[in-house]
């Protein structure tokens, strides 16, 4: 059986938690596509001694392996910022496209989360979700998660800069697909969001 759930939305809106829960409950495989861009960004920064070279980033994207996604330095805010810079390069996105599509087509069902899953990677996904929350709520969640000494204001500014870059780029900008279900988790608990998403998936299964 092939069945694809596309989950998009801005940083720290709850996409990852919701996607993991859905993949567990339905027995679908899960791909956090942000890790691909984070790995390219971190390796490019590392190789370039702190400088992101666009040409080199494309080479890294072309040679990326699944092991690169296991690095332990992908969750930092520096990695997030680097990811959103390399993610604006069309050749980087192109290099990562087929891996994501192949993952979505595998037997047994798949959940992919990112920014352009419902619009570019899997426009024919069986169920599309666009998960959002207010800037303040997202920053508070990320602040608690990172717990790295950054102030709430810094985390908020960081998220807003990344969202602006992701929504404003020319190639595959972050936007809700016309046929996506909207899930605003500002006031909705994760349990309630998962319950709602489960009902939408069951309608299509």
* Number of residues lying near ligand C5P (CB under 6 A): 15
**Residue 143 contacts ligand C5P per CB under 6 A:** no
Distances (CA, A) of 53 to 40, 47, 75, 82, 121: 11, 9, 21, 11, 25
Neighbours of 151 (CB within 10 A): 9
List, in sequence order, every residue forming a beta bridge with 31; answer none if it has no partner. Answer: 112
Distance between CA atoms of residues 87 and 165, nearest Å = 9
For ligand C5P, the closer CB: 84 or 194: 84
166 near ligand C5P (CB under 6 A) = yes
Q: How far is the CB of 84 from ligand C5P (least distance, A)?
A: 3
Residue 116 contacts ligand C5P per CB under 6 A:
yes
Burial class (CB in 10 A: 0-12, 13-18, 19+), 43: buried
Interface residue with ligand C5P, options 22, 39, 64, 114 (CB under 6 A): 114
Asked whether position 38 contacts ligand C5P by CB under 6 A, the answer is yes
Residues that bind ligand C5P (CB under 6 A): 11, 33-34, 37-38, 80, 83-84, 87, 114-117, 162, 166
């Amino acid at each position: 059986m092939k069945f694809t759930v596309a989950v998009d939305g801005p940083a720290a809106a709850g996409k990852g938690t919701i996607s993991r829960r859905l993949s567990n409950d339905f027995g679908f495989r899960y791909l956090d596509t942000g890790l691909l861009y984070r790995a390219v960004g971190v390796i490019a920064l590392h190789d370039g001694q702190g400088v992101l070279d666009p040409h080199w980033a494309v080479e890294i994207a072309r040679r990326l392996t699944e092991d690169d996604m296991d690095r332990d330095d992908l969750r930092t805010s520096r990695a997030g910022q680097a990811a959103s810079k390399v993610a604006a390069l069309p050749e980087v996105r192109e290099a990562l496209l087929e891996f994501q599509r192949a993952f979505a087509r595998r037997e047994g069902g798949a959940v992919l989360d990112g920014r352009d899953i419902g619009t570019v990677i899997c426009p024919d996904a069986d169920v599309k979700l666009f998960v959002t929350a207010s800037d303040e709520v997202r920053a508070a969640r990320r602040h608690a998660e990172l717990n790295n000494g950054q102030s709430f204001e810094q985390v908020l500014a960081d998220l807003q800069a990344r969202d602006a870059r992701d929504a404003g780029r020319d190639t595959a900008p972050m936007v809700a697909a016309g046929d996506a279900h909207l899930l605003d988790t500002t006031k909705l608990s994760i349990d309630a969001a998962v319950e709602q998403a489960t009902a939408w998936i069951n309608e299509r299964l």
